[in-house]
Structure 1
Amino acid sequence: MKTLLRGLLTAFLFTVFAVPATSAFAEDKVVYHINDAEHQALAGLRNIRNQLDTVPESKIVVVAHSQGVDFLMESYKDAATVGPLISALHARGVKFEVCEITLKQRNLKKDQFVLDADFTPSGVVELTRLQQKGYAYIKP
């Protein structure tokens, strides 16, 4: 009887305190919030590159709205600097989301943006949704 109780207690403790191997390290999920391209874009892109160099399997989404969408435009003043970074990060799985409300407010068209850009109805709603899904929030 003691052996049975000891075995049941051991099984119970193992079940309660064991951490499955797949969740020992939670998947890194990060959303970068850019609303000022001039002051945030290049630093943010470099931060993302550094994160992927350290944790290559990270899931990263960049959400841009307001003046932050500018760095994703083909006519951006620093396109020669940020363009290659955007393309390289996109190739590594980074998603770039542009706020469609910003497009309407600033009278911008989707064809003014780099091919690596995707669009979301609302940048703020997308930020909220991703955080609710466990994405860490970073504002460079």
Structure 2
Amino acid sequence: MNKPNRRTITTTLMLGALLGLTATASQAQTPAGGDKVVYHIDNTEAQATKGLRNIRNHLDVAPDTKIVVVTHADGVDFLLEGAKDKKNPDIDYGALVSALVARGVRFEVCEITLRNRKIDKAQFQMEAQFTPSGVVRVARLQQREGYAYLKP
């Protein structure tokens, strides 16, 4: 059996890398052709209003996009019942979240954050769902389910 030469090895590696990129790109689309995106929010004050606006705009342009919003640390605060934007109290997060849920967006709260901050699940809006670990969920959505990552 002949030993592969350097050119054969390089060509094989390049072909493998190209096939890997093609597979990764195709994973970020749902079977119906829409994209899959995870929005990561860990700071309500800095990210919530901007993130919710980004998601609304995202769906306005690409309505078939599957979006999951994963929150942890201070990012869970906008999902608390009655939460409002501190800089602009006219912005009611509950109404914005409800409107996005009606468009298919899923909002998830990290249970580790709840334990560390001693927050009860009952304090959250009905639309909020829970995940054992926010960072693990973000990683799995990216690696196992092919979601693109956005952090507003």
Q: TM-score range by the shorter chain?
A: 0.7 to 0.9
Match of 2:146 in 1: 134
Instruction: State the alpha-carbon separation in 2 of the partners of residues 48 and 66 from structure 1.
Output: 20
Q: Paired residue for 2:58, among 16, 33, 51?
A: 51
Distance in 1 (alpha carbons) for counterparts of 2:98 and 2:82: 15
Where structure 2 has 5 or more consecutive residues not aligned to the other structure, the ranges are 1-28
**Superposition pairs of residues 80-91 of structure 1, within 5 angstroms:** 80-91=91-102
Question: Which residue of 1 is the match for residue 37 of structure 2?
Answer: 30
Q: 2:8 — aligned with what? A: none
In the alignment of these two chains, the number of paired residues is: 118
> Distance in 1 between the 2:34 and 2:140 partners?
17
Greater fraction helix = 1
1:66 aligns with 2:77: no
* Corresponding position: 1:96 with 2:107: yes
CA distance in 2, matches of 1:103, 1:81: 22
Mapped contact 1:75–1:112 kept (Cα < 8 A): no
SS at match of 1:45: helix
Task: Give ranges in structure 1 of 5+ residues lacking alignment.
Answer: 1-21
Tell me the equivalent position of 1:18. Answer: none
1:82 Cα shift? 1.7
Give the superposition deviation at 1:131.
Answer: 0.3
State the 1:26 CA deviation. 4.3
Please state how far the C-alpha of 1:60 moved relative to its aligned partner.
0.1
- 1:119 counterpart residue number: 130
Equivalent position amino acid for 2:146 in 1: G
Q: Is 1:39–2:46 an aligned residue pair?
A: yes
Identity level (%): 62
Q: CA deviation at 1:46?
A: 0.4
CA RMSD in angstroms, aligned pairs only: 1.9
Instruction: Could you list the structure 1 runs, at least 4 aligned residues long, displaced by more than 6 angstroms after superposition.
Output: none
Q: TM-score, normalised by structure 2?
A: 0.73
